[in-house]
Chains A and B, each alone.
Chain A
Amino acid sequence: MANWLKIAFGNLLKNRRRSLVTIMGIGIGFVSVSLFYGYIHNTYDGLRNAAIKGEGIGHLTIYKKGWFLKGKFEPDKYMFTDAELGKVKAIAKTDENVVLVTPQLSISGLVSNGKMSTIFMASGVVPADEQIIKGDWGKFRPVQGEKLSEKKEYGVEVAQDLAAILGMKPGSNGVVMATTPDGQMNALDIEVAGVFDTGTQASNDKYMRVPFSFAQSLYETEKADRIVVLLTDWQNTEAVRGDLLDKLNKAGLECEIKTWNELSQFYSKVRGMFDMIFMFIFSIVFVVVSMSVVNTMGMAVVERTREIGTLRAIGVKRSGISVLFAMEGALLGFIGSVGGAVAHTLLCIAVKSGDLSYVPPGNSSSVPFIVDLLPGSMLILAFFLISLSLFAAIFPARRAARLNVVEALGHV
């Protein structure tokens, strides 16, 4: 085996220019795929956190069955009563993956500074629970002024563009008006506790966060339109959804549960686009690596025809010749992948130390440009490229193995 490896490695060195070009092709392919994957991995993480923590939708959101179809017309019928909320909380908390169960209520209407009015949309959240959901995310998009508090029932957080439109800042007063589920108009005074950046241009000029009790007061209801569930780990989302739905149904609560990625359309769309670009890049790398290895090994077979004849004459079986050339292909893949991994690591360090940032489309502010260093994914990619190089080498290797010994020995 050591001698075969030595023959394989020696032949790569013997044709070092050609081997180098192929290895560089594989290395560049490795870097292209791994860098892009590292980037989108970081982006998916960011978008996931933005959805779960930033938008505050948690990992799971429980609605009464029928809410999405008929909730707009008969909201009261499809909202959770206090008793139902308690029941859902009790059931959900039996799952060890559940960190928090909290009610929320969406409201919308007009907000006015006394001189001018504009539309708003708001989430009524339990302030203490909201801080738990936000977690570290709060540091990334901090609230200017004060955060929501149970103590300040009329204190609200206003998105920065909406605050700018209305000339509001922390401490400013205003009024919100909305139609209750019963069809009555209601208005409440507000005090701007804090101003924050939602992160997206689309929501920054209309979004507010208000205390849950405030939202209930404005809508003159004691109900919640949804219950948000926060889990220990996002990867348990699907499993917990299934279990929770079963338990709720068994308890006689007809509900439907949406996951964070179902509710965050932005995440789904960005992921769909990036996944497609990734496949596109991956396909190009696949073709380039396959073709360059086939080309390199094909030339090696032609150049080493007499050597193949000699090996066959002294007792190497056809399968042995195939293995030898496949090994050379795999070696090309291995060296290319190692080179790619080193280049990837250096580039990751360079990007990190460069402290780069950019404004993604639709975002209201810049986000850091980070490429994740993912050893596990790099190993998988290296394994894939080595296997690909090995399989690409099999075609010329089979050709080499099938050579007639006499003709091969007579090859000039």
Chain B
Amino acid sequence: MALIETKNLSKNYHLGASVVHALASVNLTVARGEFVAICGPSGSGKTTLLNLMGVIDAADEGEMLFKGKDVSGLSDNHKTELRNNSIGFVFQKFNLIPVLTALENVMLPLQIQSISPGIAKTIAMDRLKQVGISDFAGHRPDKMSGGQQQRVAVARALVINPSLVIADEPTANLDSVTAKSIIDLMHDINRTQGTTFVFSTHDQRLLDRVQRKVILKDGRINGGENNG
């Protein structure tokens, strides 16, 4: 069974009187353990597709199946629980909680699951070690570089052992060296733990590392490539 399956997924945005077709009848399947990039020019619908796959947005038409179940009809609370238990997010601007330390940021998804602070701390610390940032556990985001923040964001996304990690332009705000290290990190995790990654990117270095590229144009899938 595919981890994600979209069937004729459509999403429109209303800007005043005009309607923008962000996605039009997108059919896409992502298997467990895949490392998939969604690429395409600006405005092609990459972020919209990621939002729908990450269950933070709802389609106007079509079905969005997660582990074989249609999530379109779930209540807001059920969608939120699904995200908390199964989906990790890595954002372009890192989106760490500024008043919490790196460790506390990583602990947060676990504490939302009501896991005790002691256990959450141990798991979060392991994740910080895994992404090579444990020395900065007590630092707040404003005391860390962009690359360090993104590593913390990756640790936060992974801390719940998610089935899927959604990453929206994860290297766009990083310098080339740091971007490479983040790409390597995500790739390693995908390879060693089998975590499914779906991300949008323009970064050719990242595109070179993916198993599969899905190319979007004007809200439609305009081709794809398998890197083998």
- State the A residues within 8 Å of B (CB): 2-3, 6-7, 9-11, 13-14, 306-307, 309-318, 320, 405-406, 409
Contact (Cβ within 8 A) A313 B54: yes
Interface residues on B, range: 20 to 34
**Assembled-state Cα–Cα distance A118/B97 (Å):** 84
**Assembled-state Cα–Cα distance A307/B98 (Å):** 9
Contact (Cβ within 8 A) A3 B56: no
User: Using an 8 Å CB-CB cutoff, how does the interface string of B68-112 with A read, 1 for contact, 0 for none?
Assistant: 000000001100110111001101010101111000100111011
User: Using an 8 Å CB-CB cutoff, how does the interface string of B10-27 with A read, 1 for contact, 0 for none?
Assistant: 000000000000000000
Contact (Cβ within 8 A) A3 B104: yes
Tell yes or no: B43 within 8 A of A by CB.
no
Contact (Cβ within 8 A) B107 A314: no
**Assembled-state Cα–Cα distance A313/B156 (Å):** 12
Tell yes or no: B51 within 8 A of A by CB.
yes
**Assembled-state Cα–Cα distance A143/B57 (Å):** 85
Contact (Cβ within 8 A) B98 A314: no
**Assembled-state Cα–Cα distance A307/B93 (Å):** 11
- Chain B residues with Cβ below 8 Å from A6 are 99-100, 104
**Assembled-state Cα–Cα distance A9/B113 (Å):** 22
**Assembled-state Cα–Cα distance A307/B97 (Å):** 7
Describe A's contact surface by its main secondary structure.
helix
Would you list 9 pairs from A and B whose C-beta atoms are within 8 A, ordered by A residue?
A6-B99, A7-B97, A10-B99, A307-B98, A313-B89, A314-B89, A315-B109, A317-B80, A406-B51
Minimum CB distance partner of A412 in chain B: B93
Which residue in A7, A11, A13, A313 is a CB contact (below 8 Å) of B56? Answer: A313
**Assembled-state Cα–Cα distance A195/B111 (Å):** 77
- Chain A residues with Cβ below 8 Å from B88 are 314
A304 smallest CB distance to B (angstroms)? 9
Tell yes or no: B117 within 8 A of A by CB.
yes
Contact (Cβ within 8 A) A409 B56: yes
- Chain A residues with Cβ below 8 Å from B93 are 306
Output the residue of B54, B111, B117 with the most chain A CB within 10 A.
B111
**Assembled-state Cα–Cα distance A26/B193 (Å):** 53
Contact (Cβ within 8 A) A315 B83: yes
**Assembled-state Cα–Cα distance A314/B95 (Å):** 11
Contact (Cβ within 8 A) B112 A316: yes
Contact (Cβ within 8 A) B112 A320: yes
**Assembled-state Cα–Cα distance A37/B84 (Å):** 50
- Chain B residues with Cβ below 8 Å from A406 are 51, 56-57
- Chain A residues with Cβ below 8 Å from B117 are 2-3
- Chain A residues with Cβ below 8 Å from B84 are 314-316
